[in-house]
């Protein structure tokens, strides 16, 4: 167990080591600048896997998701997005922080620091804070997310408050993605966390009014 992982179990605000893939994507994003008028999807693997320009039929949508990213990782690469003063940012981050056993209060504090940086660096950008999506542990794929359903619900309550305090718009994704028991719908996933095509279409439908506004 590395020191970084050990401290994350304790709930301390310590950056995780970045993966080779993270650095590969960041180096690519350095060559693909965001410009004024762009709509940016910012987050982790769930965002990384989406073809949002095609889903919404808009050429000015840019995907800045990176597999396995965490709140501190997004903050570290934030200038790649905010320096371009995009029209909108759709932020979806936090599930990997939960899997690292970060406590809800510590996660919320870290998240609000990120939001404040976005507001300070690009105040004219409309910021959309998306709720952390439901998961489905029936697939038994991600052991670090076992029993974390209530944590996700608790964090989402914090995210709504963070949005209200910082002039952002909170979007609850659960009505579009969860079943009657609060789990990610089985037809939307094949591992209990990431989305299949139907899941991305349902997500896009939930966001359509905000993207097209």
Domain that holds residue 174: 3-9+16-212
Question: Taking Cα atoms as reference points, which of 186, 76, 87 lies closest to residue 138?
Answer: 186
CATH of residue 38's domain is: 3.40.50.1110
> Can you list the positions of beta strands (E) in 161-211?
169-171
Calpha distance 39→33 (Å, rounded): 12
Beta bridge partners of 178: 184
Calpha distance 136→187 (Å, rounded): 11
**Phi and psi angles of residue 64, each rounded to the nearest 5 degrees, phi first:** -125, 40
Calpha distance 45→162 (Å, rounded): 23
Domain count, the chain: 1
Task: Give pLDDT tens digits along the chain (213 positions).
Answer: 333 433 333 333 344 589 999 999 999 999 999 999 999 999 999 999 999 999 999 999 999 999 999 999 999 999 999 999 999 999 999 999 999 999 999 999 999 999 999 999 999 999 999 999 999 999 999 999 999 999 999 999 999 999 999 999 999 999 999 999 999 999 999 999 999 999 999 999 999 999 998
What pLDDT was estimated at residue 94? 98
Half-sphere exposure of 154 (CA within 13 A, CB side): 13
- What is this structure's pTM? 0.92
């Amino acid at each position: 167990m590395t020191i970084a992982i050990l401290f994350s179990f304790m709930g301390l605000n310590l950056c995780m080591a970045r993966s080779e893939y993270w650095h590969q994507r960041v180096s690519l994003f350095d060559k693909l600048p965001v410009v004024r008028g762009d709509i940016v999807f910012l987050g982790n693997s769930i965002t990384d896997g989406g073809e949002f320009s095609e889903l919404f039929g808009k050429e000015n949508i840019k995907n800045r998701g990176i597999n396995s990213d965490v709140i501190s990782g997004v903050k570290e690469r934030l200038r790649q997005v905010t320096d371009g003063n995009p029209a909108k940012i759709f932020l979806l981050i936090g599930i990997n922080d939960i899997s690292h056993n970060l406590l809800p209060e510590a996660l919320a504090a870290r998240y609000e620091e990120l939001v404040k940086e976005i507001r300070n660096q690009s105040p004219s950008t409309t910021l959309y804070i998306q709720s952390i999506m439901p998961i489905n542990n029936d697939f038994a794929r991600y052991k670090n997310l076992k029993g974390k359903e209530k944590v996700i619900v608790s964090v989402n309550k914090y995210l709504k408050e963070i949005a209200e305090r910082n002039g952002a718009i909170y979007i609850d994704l659960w009505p579009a993605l969860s079943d009657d028991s609060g789990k990610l719908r089985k037809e939307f996933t094949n591992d209990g966390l990431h989305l299949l095509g139907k899941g991305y279409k349902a997500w896009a439908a939930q966001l359509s009014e905000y993207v097209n506004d």
